[in-house]
Amino acid sequence: MFGRVNKADREAAIQKDMQELHKMGYAQELFREMGGFSNFAISFSIISILTGAILLYGYGLKFAGPIINTVGWPLVSILTWTVAASMAEMASAFPTAGGLYYWAYRLGGRGWAWVTAWLNMLGQITITAGINVAAAIYIVGMLQLIFGFGDDAAIPLFGTVTSWGFYIFVMVLIMIPQVMINAFGIRLTAKLNDFSVYWHIIGVLVIAFLLTVFGKYHNDMGFVFQAVSTVKPGDGAEVFMIGGLEVQSIWFRIIPGLQGLYDSTVLVPFSILAFALALLQAQWTYTGYDASAHVAEETVLARLNSAWGVFLSVFVSSIVGYIVLMALTFAIPNGDIEATANAAYPVLYIAQENLAPFLANVIGVIIAVAMWLCGLASITSMSRMWFAFARDDGMPGANYIKKVSHTWRTPVHSIVVTSIIAVLICVYASAFYVVTSISVMALYLAYGIPTFLNLRKGRKFTKTKELAPWNLGKWGTPINVISLVWILILTVLFSLPPNELAGWTMIVLAVFLVIYWFASEKRRFTGPRLMTAQELADIEGEFAVPGGVVVPDVESQPVVVAKSDPAVPDASKSDPAVPDASKSE
């Protein structure tokens, strides 16, 4: 499974990883410390079934009823396996930070790479924003239940305890230690991510045990397959918010009868769309697992470990997530779907109604810590993606964002800048589910582009173990096709009310990128930087002592650069494991 090396062979493995990184045109600036489990842990922590599945539990229940957990979760899980598997084999072929952007460059040229990078950057920002504002909302709710103060409790400067401004303030307080830990080095971050895996798995088992053994309510099997929509007009479907301003939806004026969906009491005849919209609960949970690719330059035996990290994080999360969702659904108080779905904090409501206060609070703390660890891992992934694109001068302010701390061997500027933008995103989109929809669409479009490009080229870069030690073999093509179809479906699906702002945001982004590309970046942006052996050695020499990385002998380690243009020498002739980049854009 994970690639493993003993201590004696570890340095040799790191040297081999560095040589492969050199072949892709990059120096070893970041500290290569993570093993296979740590690489898996960062993606598993970002997926965090105790964040997405918990925060959107009421959302899914409101639209589709218990069936969204019983059937919806495994359905989305299987489809997401295809996306993760398609990405994993590309991570094996191209193990570098900023993974998706570099994959698109090698497979389709700089134009595809540039678009992929911007989608991935937006997705990374919005997923971090969604995770941490969700944690803020949840923590405030948990404290309300523990200490008994109401929604109208006054907070100086912010109005009430449940105001969006106060949630953002709590979000900032949550993020400060996350930013500091990320800045202080990958070792501490990796250890916390490893701890996060155990916290999530043991936490899920504790929650399931408490509700099953000590819970007051135990619904029958027929109940958990029940399909009921309790959405009513005005539940956020007819209007959406931009920075606190209410905007009327256009869809209800141009599609006759659409309102019938949002006033349905059963899943027939309008239920298919209601069920599909409820899938956001599972699909937002399954985001961020590209993190294993983004930390490839900090991973030992990256070709195998990054690929396994991408896939296993999704696979393990699907099993663990199903356990906690079913435990919660069987324990819905009195089988009252509407009361649970419309509770301010549905999962806390289930815990409070089922258990003694102390045990309910134990569940609350388990979830709160898991959310904080999820946010910590998300900042790691987000900052590496931005660092990788800035390293190739792909964005405004790249010279500042790409700087790496010589003391900590981390992209500190990228960590701080991206975290600030994540907070500002929440000021723009004054609704949690809108932020989550934007992150799903942006990330999955970024996931899909390299998969499409790889499929278009007949998977010539990933279908052999020589090029991609982790690959799908003969199953690659059908799995790639299924993943692309699902990505197209969810992109359209999560643009509909009540997530309309997410759809308009993606349209505006698309127009902006087209204008920006043709007006400036098509002439300016050249793609991954090409460096000589001496340039690589000079960069690595600056970090050799603080990071403890041995710099290879320049003369004995020839550097092969990526090919993206007819003027660039063909890298693949020097090493069969390095495929040609496409000349197309």
DSSP 110-175: HHHHHHHHHHHHHHHHHHHHHHHHHHHHHHHHHHHHHHT--TT-EETTTEETTSHHHHHHHHHHHH
272 confidence band (pLDDT: 50, 70, 90): confident
Residue 35 pLDDT > 60:
yes
Task: Say which residues have a Cβ less than 8 Å from residue 413's Cβ, sequence separation at least 6.
Answer: 400, 401, 402, 403
Residue 517 pLDDT > 70:
yes
d(CA 225, CA 54): 19
> Is 127 inside a domain boundary?
yes
> Is 569 inside a domain boundary?
no
Task: Say which residues have a Cβ less than 8 Å from residue 132's Cβ, sequence separation at least 6.
Answer: 171, 174, 175, 178, 375, 378, 422
pLDDT (0 to 100) of residue 301: 86
Over range 527-538, report the average pLDDT.
Answer: 79
More confident residue, 552 or 24: 24
Over range 508-531, report the average pLDDT.
Answer: 89
Q: What is the pLDDT of residues 99-139, one digit of tens each?
A: 899 999 999 999 999 999 999 999 999 889 988 998 998 89
pLDDT (0 to 100) of residue 150: 80
pLDDT (0 to 100) of residue 482: 97
**Of the ranges 443-447, 457-461, 491-495, the best mean pLDDT one:** 443-447
Residue 575 pLDDT > 90:
no
pLDDT (0 to 100) of residue 448: 96
Determine which of 156-160, 354-358, 543-547 has the lowest per-residue pLDDT on average.
543-547
Over range 180-197, report the average pLDDT.
Answer: 90
Average pLDDT, the chain: 83
> Is 349 inside a domain boundary?
yes
Residue 198 pLDDT > 90:
yes
pLDDT (0 to 100) of residue 550: 40
Determine which of 23-37, 439-453, 462-476 has the lowest per-residue pLDDT on average.
23-37
d(CA 553, CA 540): 11
Q: Which residues pair with 245 in a beta bridge?
A: 242
d(CA 49, CA 133): 16
Determine which of 36-50, 305-319, 553-567 has the lowest per-residue pLDDT on average.
553-567
**Of the ranges 49-63, 431-445, 475-489, 528-542, the best mean pLDDT one:** 475-489
Over range 322-332, report the average pLDDT.
Answer: 97
> Is 237 inside a domain boundary?
yes
254 confidence band (pLDDT: 50, 70, 90): low
Determine which of 163-177, 218-232, 260-274, 363-377 has the lowest per-residue pLDDT on average.
260-274
Q: Which amino acid is at 583?
A: K
pLDDT (0 to 100) of residue 312: 96
Write the DSSP assignment of 471-489 as a string of letters: --GGGHHHHHHHHHHHHHH
Task: Say how many CA atoms lie within 13 Å of 236 toward its Cβ.
Answer: 18
Q: What angle do CA 442, 447, 450 make, to 5 degrees?
A: 125
Residue numbers of the domain that contains 120: 28-528
Three-state secondary-structure class, residue 299: strand
Lookup result for tokens 């925060």? 55
What distance lies between CA 114 and its chain's CA centroid? 19
More confident residue, 67 or 573: 67
Percent of the chain with pLDDT over 90: 50
pLDDT (0 to 100) of residue 269: 43
Determine which of 201-215, 383-397, 545-559 has the lowest per-residue pLDDT on average.
545-559
> Is 20 inside a domain boundary?
no
pLDDT (0 to 100) of residue 503: 78
498 confidence band (pLDDT: 50, 70, 90): low
> Is 19 inside a domain boundary?
no
Q: Which of 283, 223, 221, 306 is nearest to 35 (CA)?
A: 306
d(CA 516, CA 278): 35
Q: What is the largest CA-CA distance in the chain?
A: 73
pLDDT (0 to 100) of residue 533: 80
Q: Which of 192, 272, 263, 200 is nearest to 233 (CA)?
A: 263
Residue 153 pLDDT > 90:
no
Residue 577 pLDDT > 80:
no
Task: Say which residues have a Cβ less than 8 Å from residue 61's Cβ, sequence separation at least 6.
Answer: 68, 69, 230, 278, 337, 340, 341, 346
Structure tokens belonging to residue 543: 């970090």
pLDDT (0 to 100) of residue 347: 94
Residue 499, burial from CB neighbour count under 10 angstroms (0-12, 13-18, 19+) = buried
Report, in angstroms and rounded to the nearest whole number, the Rg of the chain calculated over CA atoms. Answer: 24
- CATH number reported for the structural domain that contains residue 95 in this entry: 1.20.1740.10
d(CA 469, CA 570): 22
d(CA 148, CA 154): 14
Residue 547 pLDDT > 70:
no
> Is 559 inside a domain boundary?
no
Q: Are 181 and 189 in contact (CB under 8 A)?
A: yes
More confident residue, 528 or 520: 520
Structural domains of the chain, count: 1
Residue 255 pLDDT > 70:
no
Percent of the chain with pLDDT over 70: 83
Determine which of 91-105, 367-381, 571-585 has the lowest per-residue pLDDT on average.
571-585
Task: Say how many CA atoms lie within 13 Å of 113 toward its Cβ.
Answer: 32
- For residue 246, give the DSSP letter: E
Residue 346 pLDDT > 80:
yes
d(CA 426, CA 439): 12
Residue 520 pLDDT > 90:
yes
Over range 345-352, report the average pLDDT.
Answer: 94
> Is 556 inside a domain boundary?
no
Angstrom distances, CA of residue 551 to CA of 229, 556, 559: 61, 11, 13
Q: φ, ψ for residue 82 (rounded to 5)?
A: -65, -40
